[in-house]
Every structure is written in C-alpha cells, then in structure tokens.
Amino acid sequence: MNALPACPQCSLENTYPDGDNWVCADCGHEWPQLSNTSAHVEEDEVVKDANGNVLNNGDAVVLIKDLKVKGSSTTLKMGTKVKSIRLVGGDHEVDCKMDAGNFMLKACFLRKA
C-alpha cells in the first residue's frame, strides 16, 4: 500500500486524494498528484541561481530581493539565508524551510551562499 504524501505547506500527513489533486485536511492546501519521480528534479535537469551557479540539494542560498508571500502579510527580506534547500520540479524549483514557514521559491530570486 502506498503511503499518502505529507503536505508541502504544513508538513502534516493528514492528506487525501481529490480528483487530480492531493488535499491537506488540516490547512486546506491543494497540489497536483504527481508520480514520485516527476515531483523531484530529474538527474539531467540543472537548476541555476540568479548568478548562473548550479544549485544542488542541501545547498545554502540567500534571497536577492524582498519577496511578498501570496495570501499573507509576510515579506521574506533580501539577504535572508536559507539552509538545506531541496530541488523540486515545476515552476518553483526550490523547496525550503525558514523561520517564517515552508516555502517554494524560484531559483531566479536566489544566489548560492
């Protein structure tokens, strides 16, 4: 039996499938159902930061501009260091945990620390 994935937003495992999406019963976040291989960056895909440096899982990065968090009054400040990033596929290539919460960021707003 396959285990249900944890929510990428709140990290809780109280999720269920709904059509083509997964839904978190705790925070209400929805995300598309992807196979485990398509959710992660493929080996031949290269993710580069704003300066053109190649990013890898576990790298530390720094935000190069202030980023407003959609649906919140929180702003991620320029110069904030993020440790232990995880590369994922899709439009937002970097998954990370910060003091303000868990975020998915675009690599173009990051530089390798």
Considering only the top CATH level, what class is 1-33?
mainly beta
Q: What pLDDT, in 10s, does the model give residues 47-79?
A: 999 999 999 999 999 999 999 988 889 899 999
pLDDT classification of 33: cutoffs 50, 70, 90? confident
Return the pLDDT at 1: 41
Minimal CA–CA distance to 45: which of 90, 97, 83? 90
Q: 0.85 exceeded by the pTM?
A: no
User: What integer best gives the mean pLDDT of the chain?
Assistant: 85
**Residue boundaries of the structural domains of the chain:** 1-33, 40-112
* CA distances (Å), origin 96, targets 18, 31, 68, 88: 26, 17, 16, 10
Q: Estimate to the nearest angstrom the gap between the alpha carbon of 25 and the chain centroid.
A: 20
pLDDT classification of 105: cutoffs 50, 70, 90? very high
The CATH architecture of the domain made up of 40-112 is Roll (2.30)
Q: What pLDDT, in 10s, does the model give residues 2-15?
A: 577 888 888 888 88
User: What mean pLDDT is predicted for residues 19-38?
Assistant: 76
Task: Give phi and psi for 43, each to the nearest 5.
Answer: -60, -35
